[in-house]
Structure 1
């Protein structure tokens, strides 16, 4: 017993000392990392200093193949970089008579711009198309500026000196060794932290790439009308016909390889369709009737035009556009999460309706005080804000269960920017109770469909078990 009792006090001091050593190393490591961060901050401050006098803002005219077939004009450049097409004259005066790379020059405001031309911009220009270039023409020289040095006039280039990079690498290696002394679990935690740090450093570039892809999707939607016609044709095959009731199609996707439809779990498609899971059915492009033209399919497709309202909500993981039927909303769609992406969702739905159902009535209600108003496309008929004193009937408490949705033609739209207050919620409920459809950038408890967005430009549609990339 005495020997056992004697071993206990000897064992405990050794354990405490063993823990004090890694803690000391961790403190030293923290000091090293702090010094590296200070050095990097100093380097970044030096690199982030304002550009020299020979750097100016420019716009590089893109080839039409990169812009969906549209060649830039002075007016479109002024709109994109200055926010005002009327300022095109300022851009013309800055570039009048300057020789471009191909030997041509801009001599008249109506001259066609050539791909590859580098045009000077006023100093207050901004946006993704604005770049920095060295002014080789000496301010008012006869040649255009050359040597574009950045892709975005709003971005800052970061250059890490070799010594600072070596110090940072040494600190990271020391961190891994030190944490290895403490234990494997801490090594994994450190590796995870390093991975998160690397991902954080790459996040801005990744976000820019995602935004560019989403903008390209928006341009593609603007130019594509064929897929909308094909979608209505496919939808017509599931409409009520003879003694067969309608099989509700809640969403569908069409591309060159075939068509996919989302049905209720209790419904099924005919033999030309193959079941993917409990609700999704797909038919290849080689199967008959895909276009929905001719025969009964063509007739029924015309019959659903007055009730169905197909809009492309975004693209799936295979970059295929996915249509949802807004007539299945049964009242209100609530889009929450990242506020910027939520606004993109609603703006895209408005643009889709403006293309396929022009002159649809729209009334806009202001929700949260800090939410900027949504822009109503000119093709839609914006109505004055509704003045309602009572609600005709309450919203149905359907939740997000797909089978509970009933078809309601889209007679008009109530658009709410931000979560509605008490008065706006009453006006929204009153209008939706008499057949209007609500699109809300924010939370509405009575909404039948709820979509959730994230900062990466995605929207989750739980009722369809689907995640889409949102056009920007």
Structure 2
């Protein structure tokens, strides 16, 4: 089975879930755009109202324009983009009294420096200013029968203030840029505060999540205790891989059974014939509709004698879809080390023993206490617990590192040695004598780190077990 371990990196990738600084920049940019839109809307609304802000042009001194006096045409060209719109400027200002007592009565009248002229609402440019008319309006018009054109109201500019539009935008932009700068400088604090708040929320909800996970795991344990159908289908699947005259047996190290078909894990160098289809380097899939596969309701023996006599299939847990995943303990070739969270590791071993009790009752089991003082272990009903087994010979166990020690050899599960914690020197020597290469042929299940273990599984406090040699994570029944 060592060829399977070369096919993948068995780690799990975790990526950051948020980028606070980027979100802050986007939010502030949106705020700037909203402020500019609001400013434009407010300016238009004020310009449209009679007593609100209006757009005006203050006639400059000739010295400010290079000696050229301002005209209605030059004003229309610079603020409206069209000299011919000077007529509109004239109509807006005809007869309006200025501060010096003068007024614009004709389109060719000379404009005096300091005059304030109204502009159409669409006027724009650096010379356009905002002003508020606070004077009284007096209608000055000729009699209707005089033949003269009626003049518009004459406005007295008693007081007026002007606000350059560019200055308003500049101040607003400066405020928003200051906020952005402050956000960038403080992004670490913001990220830290956000992370702290998330941790606090998770901490408050952890008891409920833990209770919910435990309920789900207990439901999986009850399902395993009553679901004989998946066990029958799993053993029936092995018939496709039994040895024939044409080819030797192809080891099935694990399999997954569901209503739509079955998936098997083979050695990377093996292949399955049609109707099996390849999923990746080690997994093959056969749909339930394919002929010859055991369907629901058909019966076959739950014991391995119906397929491969040495197979010992046990459900290690359920995958992300809630479907059971079987492993074949006959390919452990010695010792399984289950480390990580101690309570969940014990659940893993207890579940494996319960699975064996259902399919192989009266299998002998010997329980050893680990050197770390782990609590006693209760053997499930149906198995035959023995006192401490006398090993044929006590020897120093072979050391090994990594997920697998070497290529696995198949051996029947004739007896189980359970170590309730990390084994000490004596327990390690007994494991080597009973379960190691050339030993008594027993299978070891260790709740902790065990030197020389062929398979190594890893658990976490959430009730999961990682099986790197299969590249899967399962939920452990409780």
Considering the TM-score relative to the shorter chain, is it more than 0.5?
A: yes
Map of 1:406-417 to 2, 5 A cutoff?
406-417=409-420
* More helix as a share of residues: 1
**What are the Cα deviations for residues 232-256 of structure 1, in whole angstroms up to 9, with x where unaligned?**
0101211212231111111001111
The structure 2 residue matched to 1:343, chosen from 346, 357, 369, is 346
**What are the Cα deviations for residues 35-55 of structure 1, in whole angstroms up to 9, with x where unaligned?**
xxxxxxxxxxxxxxxxxxxxx
2:217 corresponding residue in structure 1: 214
Alpha-carbon distance, 1:194 to partner: 1.4
Alpha-carbon distance, 1:292 to partner: 8.7
Alpha-carbon distance, 1:283 to partner: 1.2
Contact 1:292 1:301 in 2 (8 A): no
| Secondary structure of the structure 2 residue equivalent to 1:442 | coil
2:452 corresponding residue in structure 1: 446
Distance 1:233 1:242 in 2: 20
Map of 1:184-333 to 2, 5 A cutoff?
184-291=187-294, 302=305, 304-333=307-336
Distance 2:294 2:202 in 1: 44
Relative to structure 1, the CA distance from residue 330 to residue 208 in structure 2 (aligned partners, 3 Å threshold; closer, same or farther) is same
Map of 1:105-124 to 2, 5 A cutoff?
none
Relative to structure 1, the CA distance from residue 428 to residue 292 in structure 2 (aligned partners, 3 Å threshold; closer, same or farther) is farther
What 5-or-longer segments of structure 2 have no aligned partner? Answer: 1-179
Contact 2:217 2:477 in 1 (8 A): yes
The size of the alignment, in residue pairs, is 293
Map of 1:93-112 to 2, 5 A cutoff?
none
1:113 corresponding residue in structure 2: none
Distance 1:393 1:416 in 2: 17
**What are the Cα deviations for residues 284-304 of structure 1, in whole angstroms up to 9, with x where unaligned?**
1111122199xxx99x97464
Map of 1:75-154 to 2, 5 A cutoff?
none
Contact 1:233 1:301 in 2 (8 A): no
- What is the TM-score normalised by the length of structure 1? 0.58
**What are the Cα deviations for residues 53-111 of structure 1, in whole angstroms up to 9, with x where unaligned?**
xxxxxxxxxxxxxxxxxxxxxxxxxxxxxxxxxxxxxxxxxxxxxxxxxxxxxxxxxxx
- What is the TM-score normalised by the length of structure 2? 0.58
Alpha-carbon distance, 1:268 to partner: 1.1
Distance 1:312 1:459 in 2: 12
What 5-or-longer segments of structure 1 have no aligned partner? Answer: 1-176
2:364 corresponding residue in structure 1: 361
Contact 2:377 2:420 in 1 (8 A): yes
Distance 2:372 2:192 in 1: 42
Distance 1:420 1:187 in 2: 47
Contact 1:253 1:320 in 2 (8 A): yes
Q: With a CA cutoff of 8 Å and minimum separation of 6, indicate the structure with the bigger relative contact order.
A: 2
Larger radius of gyration between Structure 1 and Structure 2: 2
